[in-house]
Chain A
Amino acid sequence: MSYPTDLKYTKEHEWIRLEGETGTVGITDFAQQQLGDVVYVELPEVGATLTAGQVFGTIESVKAVSELFAPVSGEVVEVNASLKDRPEDVNGKPHEAWMVKVKLSTPGEAGALMDAAAYEALLAK
């Protein structure tokens, strides 16, 4: 698997697509493989405040519950409601099935994220 180069990555296996002051957040292909079949995604409401590195939601597979960690700080401006009925999209197209869109409060934080090459190197370890 080669990871999309237009995304940035965290060591907790989230991805974020940065467009101006907005970031779109999901989990990586590696993360969905580790989870197995996703059956439920619990996300914050629009307007919630995220803090980089802190838990903002949970994702459940048949077997396990995992926490979602915010790659950046900011305010949730949109939530992907389609995951309510189609949580399996996280397995099928992990880099498209986004979870939240965030208006960045501290854009400088994005500099600490990994690019695709660095993320692939992390996975190869």
Chain B
Amino acid sequence: MTDSAPAPLKKTPLHAAHVALGARMVPFGGWDMPVEYSGITAEHLAVRTAAGLFDVSHMGEVEIAGQGALEAVQHITSNDASKLQVGQIQYSALTTPDGTFVDDLLVYRFGPAHYLLVINAGNIDKDVAWITARAKEVVPDVAVVNASDRYGLIAIQGPRAQDILQTLTAVDLSAIKYYWFAHGEVAGVRATVSRTGYTGEDGFEVMVPSAMTVRVWEALLAAGRPLGLVPAGLGARDTLRLEASMRLYGNDMDETSTVLDADLGWIVGWKKPAFLGHDALHAQKAAGVTKKLVGFEMRDRAIARHGHAVFHDGSQVGVVTSGTQTPYLKKAIGMAYVPPGLAAPGTALDIDIRGRRARAVVVPMPFYKREKPA
């Protein structure tokens, strides 16, 4: 027993709405969040076949603006932000000098010298301190603002997401390409609408002023219900992102794994002359990685989970980072770090599941890829 009570959980602007919908609430990254409403399986399938509505207001937003904003963003992130046009978004990493992850993030270019970074909820305090200190290394007077409390963020995901959202906005959604955004109004509320998401499905994320989040959420639910939209919680968000092989910070990578370990070399701007982690990543690229994130599928009936040990020929060779039984593919799948020599699809692995070894095999990622509309 300790005397210090844990810090109270933070609540998004939609907290009361979740409780009213009958959501089961759980602590996540310091926030009291809905893990499921109707059930993870039903919500997961709704996103794959119709649409799901997610509260992702717990995510953090950091704005970097002013003269030298690009230089600052280029210094702290791995990807090449100079390629971004105004209105475009990039997946990137906030890297340590060792090339490991402080966080993974989305970089929005709002204006010629104005960027918005969307960061993980559990990392907001750490990231803001890191970004503030590191950005000033290259641009002493750059403005770094933690805008996390100013925004509510709602994700609408699934094949019917565009049809539903289009009923509430004059923004021509069909003109927004993948990883681009537009400003406009949604349900009469000033919003930034991006074609992004964390489910492997088509969809949008709608950023609105905090105080307006409930209004937009209620309007989307009402417009979407007749088309099969359901509210979806963090449980389905996790199974959906894993089927789509999207990494989860804290599970699949952290400050001990490099961008290359996580097999995300495509988010490194290799031609950038410098950035935090530049030298380490170039050296690792030349020398080769010592561990690599791979996808696996269980061969025995068992579900591997985060932290389970991975064996090959009787020796421990790695560890599971994420694992679940996926509702859509109906398989037990996961990701694990293994030596690069064991990363080829078809490689047999054994996973220790509470004292019992279960067989698994390395498979290509992503596990699930949606069919692009013709």
Contact = CB atoms under 8 A, between A and B. Distances in A.
Interface of A: 36-37, 39-40, 42, 58, 60-63, 65, 84, 91
A58 B358 CA distance: 15
Interface string B212-251: 0000000000000000000000010011000000000000
Contact of B40 (A42, A60, A63): A63
Contacts of B302: 40, 42
A62 B44 CA distance: 11
Given A37-B39, A39-B303, A40-B302, 12 more contacts: A36-B35, A37-B41, A40-B303, A40-B325, A42-B302, A60-B325, A62-B41, A62-B239, A62-B324, A63-B235, A65-B305, A84-B301
A39 B96 CA distance: 39
B351 to A, nearest CB: 14
14 contacts: A36-B36, A36-B40, A36-B235, A37-B41, A39-B303, A39-B325, A40-B301, A40-B302, A58-B354, A61-B40, A62-B239, A63-B36, A65-B303, A91-B39
- Interface secondary structure of B, over-half rule: mixed
A42 to B, nearest CB: 8
B39 A36 contact: yes
A113 B84 CA distance: 66
Contacts of B303: 39-40, 60, 65
Contacts of A40: 301-303, 325
Nearest to A63: B235
Name which of B40, B301, B305, B325 has the most chain A CB atoms within 10 A of its CB: B325
A40 B302 CA distance: 7
Nearest to A84: B301
Contacts of A42: 302
A91 B38 CA distance: 12
Interface residues of B, number: 17
B40 A62 contact: yes
B369 to A, nearest CB: 21
Contacts of A91: 39
A67 to B, nearest CB: 10
B301 A62 contact: no
B327 interface: yes
Nearest to B354: A58
A40 B39 CA distance: 16
A17 B24 CA distance: 30
B354 A62 contact: no
A62 to B, nearest CB: 4
Interface in B310-352: 324-325, 327
A37 B36 CA distance: 10
B354 to A, nearest CB: 7
A5 B35 CA distance: 32
Interface string B277-312: 000000000000000000000000111010000000
